[in-house]
Amino acid sequence: MNKKSITSPILGERFLRVEHPSGLTILLCPMEGYSTAYAMFSAKVGSIDTTFKTQREEDFVEVPAGIAHFLEHKMFECDDGDAFAKYAKTGASANAFTSFDRTAYLFSCTGNFRESLEILLDFVSRPYFTPETVQKEQGIIGQEIRMYDDDPGWRSLFNLLGALYHVNPVRLDIAGTTESIAQITSDLLYRCYHTFYSLGNMVLTVAGNFRPEEVLETADKILRKGEEVRIQWRKAEEPREVAAPYVEQSLSVSTPLFQLGFKGEAGDSLTNLRRQVVDEILLEILCGESSPLYRRLYDSGLINGTFEYEVLAGRDYLCCMYGGESREPKKVREAICQEARRMAAEGIDPDAFRRCKKSTYGRYIGMFSRVESVASLMMGAYFAGLENMYELLDYVRDLTLPELETRLREDLDPRYSALSVVNPA
């Protein structure tokens, strides 16, 4: 068993990287003085992984949209009962999520850590699908899809992604459609499971109040080495231009809801992780709460306290977004695009750069004080190909003004923007 201790000279903290004999990478960060332990067992698969091949196939396999999310739902059912019922006996709080490029199963607890970890490793390692239970789940997830179809915030986001992207599967709803999930069978679920849930394509991250020996002993007890699976993903040939500059929908809202997105030139996961950190600083400078533009928009009533920004970045996709409520979202778009063009021509204010860089640096340091954030950071950095999660602090510390101005011209170019609006019905 190969073990490596990785230390942050800035924080004076460390985590342990273990290459387990089963083929699983385990990342452990004990945090002295904390009462909670937080564990995540994650697979490098998400909603965008609908076309892939392994060494077993001669050609690429195409599976229905939403199958990663469907698989996440089904994993909690075991041949000997439901995993949530087992967690109820240990007192742990358990959950799971599927994003565009990863799926995670997690729990937090203040006691019975070893028992809860055994449940996690056991049910994720033992799939149990039958035609009857798959059919039942199709009805449950179908209801969930219809619920999200009526959710203004959700529709605003995915309408935007559909406007930004022509063919990249990030444009598709994570849960799929009622038509796509109707094509899912137990055989397809097993095929995807044995492809993406091979231990070499997963990572276990644990942070907080636990002993590393407990984790390794539990892994030794439950995990077994399987066949190595070499996965090849098909990259979508996405053009630089947006699919549509504007899209709108009517739903039950009192005030129009909008999402303004800028389509970046996406790279690989590691490149996009660094660009995500940089672009967060850029969005704060351009129209964050401390910016002059934010104050002008807020004082004029064009935006309110719901206004926020986010960077979506992962394997082969990157976009920067502003969103919130506004009675005149087109005016908000024009103001932000105009400010982006002005900053690209005149340069970014050095004082604003220093202020927002320090603010972001402090925010990232704060993330290392929360057990759930540490576990998530270890997982995200690992899947992006970054061995040391503490390098995220270096990304912020070493950022220069010329580099940020380059990112402004490439990632916030108004020519590659789209506006999604949900109007009152």
Query: What CATH number has the domain bearing residue 253?
Result: 3.30.830.10
Share of the chain above pLDDT 90, in %: 93
Measured CA to CA in angstroms, residue 141 lies from 7, 9, 72, 174, 371 at distances of 43, 46, 11, 11, 31
Residue-wise pLDDT tens digits, 229-281: 999 988 888 999 999 999 999 999 999 999 999 999 888 899 999 999 999 99
- Residue 56: pLDDT band with limits 50, 70, 90: confident
Residue 140 pLDDT: 93
- Give catalytic status of residue 62 as yes or no: no
Domain membership of residue 180 (yes or no) is yes
Residue 227 pLDDT: 85
> Of 13, 32, 72, 248, which is the active-site residue?
72
Residue 57, pLDDT above cutoff 90:
no
Question: To which residue do tokens 């229905």 refer?
Answer: 64
- In this structure, are 197 and 346 located in the same domain? no
Shortest CA distance to 40 belongs to which of 52, 26, 54?
26
User: Residue 350 sits in which domain range?
Assistant: 246-424
Domain membership of residue 239 (yes or no) is no
Residue finishing a domain among 179, 200, 233: 233
- In this structure, are 184 and 221 located in the same domain? yes
Residue 389 pLDDT: 95
Residue 267 pLDDT: 85
- In this structure, are 226 and 279 located in the same domain? no
Domain membership of residue 321 (yes or no) is yes
- Residue 325: pLDDT band with limits 50, 70, 90: very high
Residues 115-131, mean pLDDT to the nearest whole number? 95
Residue 281 pLDDT: 96
- In this structure, are 158 and 290 located in the same domain? no
Among 28-32, 89-93, 266-270, 335-339, which is the least confidently predicted range?
266-270
Residue 219, pLDDT above cutoff 90:
yes
Residue 1 pLDDT: 79
Residue 226 pLDDT: 85
- In this structure, are 217 and 312 located in the same domain? no
Residue 261 pLDDT: 98
Share of the chain above pLDDT 70, in %: 100
Q: Quote the distance between the C-alpha of residue 108 and its chain's center.
A: 19
Cβ 213 vs Cβ 35: under 8 Å: no
Reduced 3-state DSSP string for 364-377: HHHHCCCHHHHHHH
Cβ 80 vs Cβ 234: under 8 Å: no
Residue 79 pLDDT: 80
Q: Considering its fold, how many domains does the chain have in total?
A: 2
- In this structure, are 115 and 157 located in the same domain? yes
By residue count, the chain amounts to 425
